[in-house]
Structure 1
């Protein structure tokens, strides 16, 4: 009996062995390279194998019928295939690389990111206030490649573009008047504190289809979320007094903040003499309020409102007379509101709703006065002198609403689409002559992120926009690529068309103007390492429909869209926080070749705000034992061209004089001392800041003004060669000492 049972069992095993099916094959990636160590198995079975060094595998299974084969390997997406198991099977398996957010390439062409660790931090809020640039966002961004060193006008002049060609956004909504208003040829600071923002993106071209109405550049500012703790701040200096608070709710789901600042530089001008006669020293008052709240769906609502007021009165020697002066009075108010709602809608959908509303009022009066500062009138023989006497009242209301819907797809792919509406109403009163401009500007846009692997992605988008004032519609395609070329290295390329409405100063003379246009071509290489970043970028921009000035009789003029131009160049950036202990630095270099035929230019010329070579070095050394940080910024730019044109009697202009200014050199120094650094249970955090601009007192010339006849010219200079500042900043509730240490180690 036992022998019979053993014989039956042996026969069953032999039969079973002969009914096993052989499954073999190879496992490779999309580039047909073998994948080592991939697991190949029949689902819910112990039958399987592991791929060898050639990617080959082979195993036997006794399963019959329909079963699922599962192939898996770290770094790749799982592969599954339904098999009919009844005879030998050979498989060639291709695995797709898993795309991880930290490993995947991102488009960097034309964009410098700050506060976004995934793309490489370029400049944090602390960087901005410690770059020896007086804590101003725009001035700090001028130390990055692509930006020109223009010291007599507000705005960022980027890659051959004017300051008006750069737009700023807070949480996705436009800031229509980001700078205070001042007299001509004296630049003004921005309205916003850098510590208001957690991230800054400085796009020097090729930016997203979500944004428009900017020929050259956009600056995207992301405001802070909820504070970690409640805090109270106080700022004291001979120039200003400021106080504020941020209060976090007990539930830590909402917060509010309130700030006030007053600046009066009259005491400073009593000590430091300036070339202009400031009979009314610049005064600024600002107050702002913010509210932030988390939603129950994981979103965030932010509201920010600010009110600013400034006045200044100034007299300069009149360039056409030794006995007369030009007197300027400026009074400006600005109310800005920003409402942003970001929400998770479920099923990988997200909504971004951005809104801004502002009311800006400027009152500017210029009057020629005599030696006793009394108004002077002129007869018809010297009518051009009367053109200097004007009274301008400008009131602008601006409303913008933008909504973006985002759908996260598989493998980091994403789709974004939405629209925006912008209403602008401008009321001008020029020498009691009223001019009203009203525009309804709308746009629809869409773009997609398409990831083909961790090493290659594409961003494709488009934007359609319409202006009722111009009665014109545009279509703007945008496309960009990113490709990995090595460890932590990638190349990016971008192309796009960009349109912008003419400024109101042109539309008040001719409402039949068209959009101006720029086409961008960009390619860059970027390599990141441990606390290091290198970047080089080449670009070309083609300008069309630029504004040209048309000369009329008796000094009158109008405008058309017959201008054109180009800009091309190379930008280089290197940042290093690794090589030297407690020391970081960055180096920026820009080469720019640009020419334009626009405004009253008689021919295609290099614009008077552009220079071929710009160079900046920023260094920061933290002395922990001394509780002190020293910041040094050096900026250099080759001379800028200047021109003098006169009407040619045929609606154009003749060039009568030209030249190049001296090179621009400036060293800025700031020292930050933290007396309570390292003290246990310190009740407050104190920072003492001292700064000086143009440390070596170099002469700086921005251009030249000409007399009416052109026989005399006068250099455009800063009000004073140097600026000195000292201030004390107190904070209760939050100790920022560790933030300072971590940012500098």
Structure 2
């Protein structure tokens, strides 16, 4: 498991053996796909050890004599070599095991890690780095998996099996990470926390996860950064930004460092949209991961991140054509004003790992996260809604020639938020024969200061449009209305909030055999207590308990299959945003949302075209209660701050992955989902994330005659989400959906040099790898929309929904080098 890998890794940079009569052999064991081999046996003379969940091992050997070392694992060919080590010497050896199938009668035994038994999806980080996408990164690849959906290529947010963006856990090196609060649209987000250039292992669970993970309702993304063994560096540059990373170790081997900087600019994507703008974004971050080994038992690590998203946006004009061939319409808008948003986040964590014995590991972690955010904008939009001239060849073709509605809109905001989170955590892992025990306790303090000042004024044909109150009927301009003028929407609030949390978990797992069948058990429980203090009042302390369990079996069959079932009670205590209602007021009495998870899964590994493939299928059901309803507009979530709903979600996920092309990994995924909610016993309606059908394809290929020419295709098709109605509308009266989301991104890359290059021009270059590439985003130029703008024609009293389109076809060029 990850906890054991951290501590065995601290043995890798061991104490000084200068005066000892022993030596150290260490390294990482990989398979032919560069994946770590778990529980491999490394033996020599009368001593031995096993590799951990990251493939790392350390073996102390007698010095001054020739020794034969054997590396073995069921399902792989043995690696046998001889070594002669001097006293105090440390030798690194990284063997690569080649697969073999060992026949016993008619039964085939193959190596399998705990990931298949626990339902965790393991993804090759190199695929993350090569997959094309308008917002490249880990989240871009997740969107190709079944059960994971997003209808916005400018956003790194994703929803899983009917949940929303706030229901996903993200860990880096076992430390929970966060994202900004105030982001309203995908084009404002910039960069996610995870830097794909630093990733070593990427694990993902879409539900039914273990108790050692936190209290969220939907998913877990567990990232582990690389552990440097020598100096490496890389640089990738393109029209959308620049990424650089470097890593290395000290001469003593005690200190290792891994770092990266990123710069992202969405101008190419945003300025290709229908709104003509002056767009000046600055999205940049820097990350650093340091590890220092004091001895073979104790190491200290640091993970730090500083990010700035400076978003400056000045819209000028917009024309959106919509309607039908019989009645083509257009919305023409002229803007005045600008928007300036700033999101500055800083994160730091210190983690100490102590190997008390070969069977017990302890970790102590302290982390802090600070986010300073502001949204300032004043934008006046003057619009005309009318019919479009469709006379082909005419001078006015495509122009609005007859206005059916005119008006103006003023939007204003002065929003500021300052959040500080402090966490202190202790976790441990104990091994007793075949039994593994994990436990942890964590204290968190959250201090949030939030000021909301925003309003919207809508004018149509000289008449101020009043807010859509339930008991209000507006008959203007046919009947006068003499009430005072008020904004269409207005939110004013100031909240100073402190939240104290105490979390704990304990779990047991066992991997054994039963009648020669391999079986796996896991059972655990979490507790979460919290209290909320604000200026007005202090809430009572609330406590929830979450029992969880898993069972898996790999039958001793000729066919390689795994069956598993998992579930439990998953509870999500409210975060700050879930405490704030539509008007900005805080409700500290909001309770935890609860969900009963039941997940049944099956894996079938087989050979096709003499190459390995795997078919993974899961069916799931989630029964949710104490649900906190919300509205979703672009990526902005606003909660009712009231546990007045119940909901359910069920569906099926399928994924077929393997070597469709020899030497490459590709997959096809399919998901079916239905999720509905019942608010205040008014009946069940679709939730905002009711993504009925989802298809995803990740395909990699190369030209047989030119193997250095690679192709990467990322294709996603999602049926339309609910969201085609005004955000202020009663969801029980409006259940219209957005159009289906269809997108395909293509990447082409040519390796000018790799480590085995024979090209004479770059043969003497000190670069390990040089590549150039071309990316085509939205290659079929589909017009996908994320929301609708609603414009009223005062004469006919018709409310038109005008789609807000996402990015069209865009081209990008890239160049990458590695040292």
Pick from 509, 512, 516 the counterpart of residue 589 of structure 2.
Answer: 512
**Relative to structure 1, is the Cα distance of residues 368 and 260 closer, same or farther in structure 2, using a 3 angstrom cutoff?**
same
Report the Cα offset of residue 597 of structure 1. Answer: 3.4
Q: How many residue pairs are counted as aligned between the two chains? A: 598
**Relative to structure 1, is the Cα distance of residues 274 and 493 closer, same or farther in structure 2, using a 3 angstrom cutoff?**
same
Rounded Cα–Cα distance in structure 1 between residues aligned with 2:681 and 2:448: 28
1:132-531 matched pairs, under 5 angstroms: 132-133=132-133, 134-151=135-152, 154-177=156-179, 181=183, 183=185, 188-225=190-227, 227-266=228-267, 268=268, 273-298=272-297, 300-315=299-314, 327-369=338-380, 388-411=411-434, 413-431=435-453, 433-453=493-513, 455-469=518-532, 471-485=541-555, 486=557, 487-508=559-580, 509=585, 510-529=587-606, 531=612
Structure 2 unaligned regions, length at least 5:
1-73, 75-108, 321-330, 384-407, 454-491, 533-538, 632-637
Please give the secondary structure, in 2, of the residue aligned with 1:140.
Answer: helix
Rounded Cα–Cα distance in structure 2 between residues aligned with 1:655 and 1:310: 37
**Relative to structure 1, is the Cα distance of residues 341 and 548 closer, same or farther in structure 2, using a 3 angstrom cutoff?**
same
Other-structure match for 1:52: none
Report the Cα offset of residue 440 of structure 1. Answer: 1.1
Q: Deviations over 1:317-375 (max 9, x none)?
A: 79999566685321111111233333321041112334432111111123232669xxx
Please give the secondary structure, in 2, of the residue aligned with 1:711.
Answer: strand
Report the Cα offset of residue 441 of structure 1. Answer: 1.0
Other-structure match for 2:128: 128
**Relative to structure 1, is the Cα distance of residues 295 and 569 closer, same or farther in structure 2, using a 3 angstrom cutoff?**
farther
**Relative to structure 1, is the Cα distance of residues 575 and 241 closer, same or farther in structure 2, using a 3 angstrom cutoff?**
closer
Rounded Cα–Cα distance in structure 1 between residues aligned with 2:341 and 2:770: 36
Q: Deviations over 1:608-660 (max 9, x none)?
A: 33321101111111347352211112211222233536879xxxx46443323
Other-structure match for 2:752: 675
Contact 1:536 1:572 in 2 (8 A): yes
Instruction: Identify which range, 136-145 or 293-302, moves more after superposition.
Output: 293-302
1:565-584 matched pairs, under 5 angstroms: 565-577=647-659, 580-584=661-665
Other-structure match for 1:381: none
Rounded Cα–Cα distance in structure 2 between residues aligned with 1:444 and 1:176: 20
Pick from 723, 726, 731 the counterpart of residue 810 of structure 2.
Answer: 723
Q: TM-score, length-normalised on structure 1? A: 0.73
Rounded Cα–Cα distance in structure 2 between residues aligned with 1:424 and 1:193: 25
Contact 1:253 1:294 in 2 (8 A): yes
Q: Deviations over 1:168-210 (max 9, x none)?
A: 1111211111799564676654233212121111110111111
Rounded Cα–Cα distance in structure 2 between residues aligned with 1:353 and 1:249: 24
Rounded Cα–Cα distance in structure 1 between residues aligned with 2:599 and 2:294: 40
1:589-600 matched pairs, under 5 angstroms: 589-597=670-678
**Relative to structure 1, is the Cα distance of residues 314 and 513 closer, same or farther in structure 2, using a 3 angstrom cutoff?**
same
Instruction: Identify which range, 352-361 or 687-696, moves more after superposition.
Output: 352-361
Report the Cα offset of residue 262 of structure 1. Answer: 3.2
Rounded Cα–Cα distance in structure 2 between residues aligned with 1:670 and 1:646: 37
Rounded Cα–Cα distance in structure 2 between residues aligned with 1:442 and 1:457: 30
Rounded Cα–Cα distance in structure 1 between residues aligned with 2:337 and 2:167: 30
Question: CA RMSD, aligned part only?
Answer: 3.4
Q: Say if 2:719 is the partner of 1:697.
A: no
Other-structure match for 1:621: 701
Contact 1:304 1:339 in 2 (8 A): yes
Q: Say if 2:134 is the partner of 1:113.
A: no
Q: Deviations over 1:403-459 (max 9, x none)?
A: 221111113x21111211222111112238531111111111100012341522210
Please give the secondary structure, in 1, of the residue aligned with 2:127.
Answer: helix
Richer in strand (by share): 2
Please give the secondary structure, in 2, of the residue aligned with 1:658.
Answer: coil
Pick from 701, 704, 718 the counterpart of residue 637 of structure 1.
Answer: 718
Rounded Cα–Cα distance in structure 1 between residues aligned with 2:120 and 2:575: 27
Q: Say if 2:718 is the partner of 1:658.
A: no
Rounded Cα–Cα distance in structure 2 between residues aligned with 1:497 and 1:178: 28
**Relative to structure 1, is the Cα distance of residues 723 and 511 closer, same or farther in structure 2, using a 3 angstrom cutoff?**
farther
Other-structure match for 2:645: 563
**Higher Rg of the two aligned structures:** 1
Q: Deviations over 1:44-63 (max 9, x none)?
A: xxxxxxxxxxxxxxxxxxxx
Report the Cα offset of residue 495 of structure 1. Answer: 1.2
Q: Say if 2:801 is the partner of 1:713.
A: yes
Please give the secondary structure, in 1, of the residue aligned with 2:595.
Answer: strand
Rounded Cα–Cα distance in structure 2 between residues aligned with 1:669 and 1:727: 13
Rounded Cα–Cα distance in structure 2 between residues aligned with 1:655 and 1:710: 20
Contact 1:148 1:610 in 2 (8 A): no
Report the Cα offset of residue 143 of structure 1. Answer: 0.6
Contact 2:578 2:639 in 1 (8 A): no
**Relative to structure 1, is the Cα distance of residues 543 and 277 closer, same or farther in structure 2, using a 3 angstrom cutoff?**
farther
Q: Deviations over 1:456-478 (max 9, x none)?
A: 22101001110112621001000
**Relative to structure 1, is the Cα distance of residues 418 and 129 closer, same or farther in structure 2, using a 3 angstrom cutoff?**
same
Q: Deviations over 1:481-534 (max 9, x none)?
A: 011233431101001111113342342321211111111000001123563221
Structure 1 unaligned regions, length at least 5:
1-74, 76-100, 115-122, 373-383, 551-555, 733-745
Please give the secondary structure, in 2, of the residue aligned with 1:561.
Answer: coil
Rounded Cα–Cα distance in structure 2 between residues aligned with 1:478 and 1:104: 23
Please give the secondary structure, in 1, of the residue aligned with 2:577.
Answer: helix
Contact 1:105 1:484 in 2 (8 A): no
